[in-house]
Chains A and B, each alone.
Chain A
Amino acid sequence: MTSARTVTSQSRRTLILVQDFAQNVPAAFALLGSNARDKVALRITGGCSGMSESDKSDMLRFFELGMRGFAGVCWSGGTRAINQDGSINLMVTEVPGVIASSNPDCVALGTAPRTDIMSLRGESHLVFDENGATLNPSHEAILIVQDGADGRLGWDGDLRAYTQLMEQWKTYARFSALGVIAWNGGSVTKKEIINSAEHGWSTILVAGSGRAADEMIADSNFISQSNVFIVHKDDPQNLRATLINLGFIKE
């Protein structure tokens, strides 16, 4: 049985790379993204606050169905939340691993700002932050962004790095489509949604998922932008159709 700490990435290992906030993304991490069959990248952002276990399962099912056939880079935050009993607390950071496990040409990656000093606890398991999260072993690689060896960043501390890498994939590796899908989430998610729209990336908001995603949908000025799209959480086929239409899924 797979535990919360079992490595389930396709290569059966998760590479961990560390960069300083002011540096460029390391070539090793950037190159891993180039291994995706299709040169497209989708960042999954958001949170799952206030959602029941059943809602969380439905969320994963939504992405699994909506992204069927996806063969690009699917990436998100690089953490995994663990319940008191050691089981996985399903969050959007589980989405890339789930997508990659059913779409072998997809590459799952994660980034995470180092918000605290990492520590080893119990049977040497790595604790990433003050909430007890660990690194997500369903990703091929995780890029940790830090502010010096003992500094602490906020939860948006990796936004600059992943924005930079998205743009470098487009400019130098001929990625043809970049986008963000937002599910639920708080203030950092809102920042990421705005950042995506400002960069001209396809920005897909999931209606009914709650909090930041729904709040942005309520902003008529924001959703009037030509690169902002809305899909409903009960309609994964609409997500898939949208992704096909935008060139993220090749049929």
Chain B
Amino acid sequence: MAEITMPRLYIKSQGEDTTKLALKLTTVPHRVIVRFTGGCGLMHPEHVNNLYQMFIAAFHGFKGAIIFGGTRMLLTADPKTVKPGITEIPPLIKKANPQCQILGVIPKTQDLRICDFGMIVSGEPDHDDFFTVNHPDIDELLIVQQSVDIEVHWETEFEECIKLTDALRTFANFDSLLISYNGGGITAKEIEATAELGWPVLLIDNSGRKTEEYCRNAAFLSNHLNVHVCDNTASALRYSLIRLGMIADRHLQVVHATTRHG
């Protein structure tokens, strides 16, 4: 019998509140929420190298909350092989920083099905080169649907994340940051929407595709002073996280130590 790990599942319809999950996020020692967006299936190999190590190093000492896609991509030819993507990062940060909280958000874009590798949320092993399941290394997963019979678009993920972030910012004194790495059309929409709200956005330069396009878009950057750009290195990312208040200053000393020892 196959062994799969399933997080605690919360299912909501669009428009409903997620009170339980919002409350759970308030238990973090540092009231900040980071939203990860960006590349998954279509990243080039050069944008994957060192990706995980960079984020783990930069987030050392992080004690806030992270919301992200909550998925994992598996190769159809060998479903035990994980396809690299941005959604692999938050569980690794959580593992290295147990006080932080991570929440996966998955829009129900098709009928869901449990297989030997978890719950399939996108693609089908019978037809596609890769398929997407729930990430097994998270504790809580929010599935968003319109109704039992009606699917939602992938944009629903970021719309729900914005709604949750808004509640935490407005009613629970959280600060927020959208971090964008690589990504396609939906990532672009999320960057635009968050920038328009005036909330902090951090674009990682040289990460490829849409995020990189926005890093080069001088007009967009000059019109949105809440959008920041950082180099694709651990030290630059960490410096930005500290400067934007996502990691408390007292950890700055650790950065220097980390940098010094390579």
B26 A31 Cβ-Cβ under 8 A: yes
Distance between Cα atoms of A31 and B26 in the complex (Å): 8
Question: How many residues in A have their beta carbons less than 8 Å from beta carbons of B?
Answer: 17
Given A31-B172, A32-B171, the answer on whether A26 and B17 have CB atoms closer than 8 Å is yes
A31 B171 Cβ-Cβ under 8 A: yes
B27 A31 Cβ-Cβ under 8 A: no
What sequence of 0s and 1s flags, for each residue 1-31 of chain B, a beta carbon within 8 Å of any chain A beta carbon?
0000000000000000111111110110000
Given A27-B167, A28-B167, A28-B170, the answer on whether A34 and B23 have CB atoms closer than 8 Å is yes
Among B17, B21, B171, chain A packs the most CB atoms within 10 A around the CB of: B171
| A199, chain B: closest CB distance, angstroms | 17
Residue of B nearest to A29 (CB): B171
Chain B residues, Cβ within 8 Å of A24? 17, 19
Main secondary structure, interface of B, reads helix
| A104, chain B: closest CB distance, angstroms | 14
B168 A172 Cβ-Cβ under 8 A: no
Chain B residues, Cβ within 8 Å of A169? 23
User: Which of B23, B27, B170 is in CB contact (< 8 Å) with A30?
Assistant: B23
Quick check: is B173 within 8 A (CB to CB) of the other chain? Answer: yes
Distance between Cα atoms of A171 and B22 in the complex (Å): 12
| A200, chain B: closest CB distance, angstroms | 19
A34 B20 Cβ-Cβ under 8 A: no
B173 A30 Cβ-Cβ under 8 A: no
How many residue pairs link A and B with beta carbons under 8 A? The number is 50
| B50, chain A: closest CB distance, angstroms | 36
Distance between Cα atoms of A218 and B23 in the complex (Å): 39
Distance between Cα atoms of A26 and B173 in the complex (Å): 17
A168 B20 Cβ-Cβ under 8 A: yes
Residue of B nearest to A164 (CB): B19
B168 A31 Cβ-Cβ under 8 A: yes
Quick check: is A194 within 8 A (CB to CB) of the other chain? Answer: no
Quick check: is A173 within 8 A (CB to CB) of the other chain? Answer: yes
Given A26-B17, A27-B19, A30-B19, the answer on whether A172 and B171 have CB atoms closer than 8 Å is no
Distance between Cα atoms of A171 and B18 in the complex (Å): 14
Quick check: is A25 within 8 A (CB to CB) of the other chain? Answer: yes
Among A24, A26, A34, chain B packs the most CB atoms within 10 A around the CB of: A34
Quick check: is A57 within 8 A (CB to CB) of the other chain? Answer: no
Residue of B nearest to A140 (CB): B171
What sequence of 0s and 1s flags, for each residue 165-182 of chain B, a beta carbon within 8 Å of any chain A beta carbon?
001101111000000000
Chain B residues, Cβ within 8 Å of A172? 20-21, 23-24, 27
A35 B19 Cβ-Cβ under 8 A: no
What sequence of 0s and 1s flags, for each residue 29-47 of chain A, a beta carbon within 8 Å of any chain B beta carbon?
1111011000000000000
Residue of A nearest to B24 (CB): A172
Quick check: is A191 within 8 A (CB to CB) of the other chain? Answer: no
Quick check: is A125 within 8 A (CB to CB) of the other chain? Answer: no
Q: A31-B168, A35-B173, A168-B20 are in contact. List 20 more A-B contacts (CB 8 A).
A: A26-B19, A27-B22, A27-B167, A27-B171, A28-B171, A29-B171, A30-B22, A31-B26, A31-B167, A31-B171, A31-B172, A34-B23, A35-B172, A168-B19, A168-B23, A169-B23, A172-B23, A172-B27, A173-B24, A173-B26
Chain B interface (Cβ < 8 Å from any Cβ of A): 17-24, 26-27, 167-168, 170-173
Chain A interface (Cβ < 8 Å from any Cβ of B): 24-32, 34-35, 168-169, 171-174
15 sample A-B contacts, Cβ–Cβ < 8 Å, listed by A number: A26-B19, A27-B23, A28-B170, A30-B19, A31-B22, A31-B26, A31-B167, A31-B168, A31-B172, A34-B23, A168-B19, A172-B21, A172-B24, A173-B23, A174-B27
